[in-house]
């Protein structure tokens, strides 16, 4: 139960009364006088989506190293770009290499798409009167973007040339 005007959480307030934040009247018995959607669940949902979006590139990066280690075990030495073709080591590395391509195509664009979508929704909301409970979401989104960018930079820097090796 939140105020229609300022989205203040009215839980724990009197059944009928005024919003302590902006003074708008509400009646707990009349759902048209307050916002029915629990803003806490919306906030939680945004948090989880942001965390998921930020972690996609990290999951992809970790998977790369997993394939690299599996290839190392199969070969007996660390795989070298253009010399140890992932598809020629064994069927398992070849299969993981294929999953790597699918993961790259799916996860690399997914992170920014979800984050920009959440930012867009947040931006539209902030134009209205929904500012309350909105700022922590924005902080979380910015953090999510930083975490994503850091992961993307690491993948781009390609330590040990794992990406270069898999790309071959």
Judge whether 9 and 28 are in contact, CB under 8 Å.
Answer: no
Q: Is 10 among the residues that bind Zn ion (CB under 5 A)?
A: no
- Of 18-26, 49-57, 141-149, 160-168, the segment contacting Zn ion by CB under 5 A is 18-26
The least CB distance from residue 133 to Zn ion, in Å, is 12
- What is the rounded distance in angstroms from the CA atom of residue 35 to the CA atom of residue 14? 16
* CA-based max dimension of the chain: 75
The least CB distance from residue 5 to Zn ion, in Å, is 4
* Nearest CB to Zn ion, comparing residues 17 and 123: 17
| Host H or E run for residue 107 | helix 91-127
Q: Kindly tell me which residue out of 9, 13, 18, 21 binds Zn ion, with binding defined by CB under 5 A.
A: 21
Residue with tokens 């990290």: 58
Task: Give me the helix-helix angle, 39-75 and 135-157, nearest 10°.
Answer: 10
φ and ψ at 5, to 5 degrees? -80, -50
- Of 6-14, 32-40, 55-63, 71-79, the segment contacting Zn ion by CB under 5 A is 6-14
Q: Is 6 among the residues that bind Zn ion (CB under 5 A)?
A: yes
Q: Is 103 among the residues that bind Zn ion (CB under 5 A)?
A: no
Which of 156, 166, 61, 46 lies closest to 107, judged by CA? 61
* Nearest CB to Zn ion, comparing residues 8 and 60: 8
* Nearest CB to Zn ion, comparing residues 34 and 140: 34
* Nearest CB to Zn ion, comparing residues 6 and 149: 6
What is the total count of residues that contact Zn ion (CB under 5 A)? 8
Residue with tokens 């009364």: 17
- What is the rounded distance in angstroms from the CA atom of residue 16 to the CA atom of residue 19? 10
The least CB distance from residue 119 to Zn ion, in Å, is 25
Q: Would you tell me which residues interact with Zn ion (CB under 5 A)?
A: 3, 5-6, 8, 19, 21-22, 24
């Amino acid at each position: 139960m939140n105020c229609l005007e300022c989205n203040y959480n009215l839980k724990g307030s009197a059944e009928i009364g005024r919003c302590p934040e902006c003074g708008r009247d509400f009646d707990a018995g009349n759902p048209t006088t307050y916002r029915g959607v629990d803003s806490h669940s919306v906030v939680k949902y945004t948090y989880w989506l942001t965390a998921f979006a930020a972690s996609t590139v990290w999951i992809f990066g970790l998977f790369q190293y997993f394939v690299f280690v599996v290839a190392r075990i199969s070969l007996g030495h660390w795989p070298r770009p253009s010399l140890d073709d992932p598809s020629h080591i064994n069927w398992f590395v070849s299969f993981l290499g294929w999953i790597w391509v699918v993961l790259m195509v799916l996860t690399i664009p997914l992170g920014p798409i979800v984050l920009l979508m959440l930012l867009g929704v947040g931006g539209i909301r902030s134009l209205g009167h929904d500012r309350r409970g909105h700022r922590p979401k924005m902080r979380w989104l910015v953090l999510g973007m930083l975490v994503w960018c850091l992961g993307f930079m690491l993948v781009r820097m390609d330590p040990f040339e794992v990406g270069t090796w898999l790309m071959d």
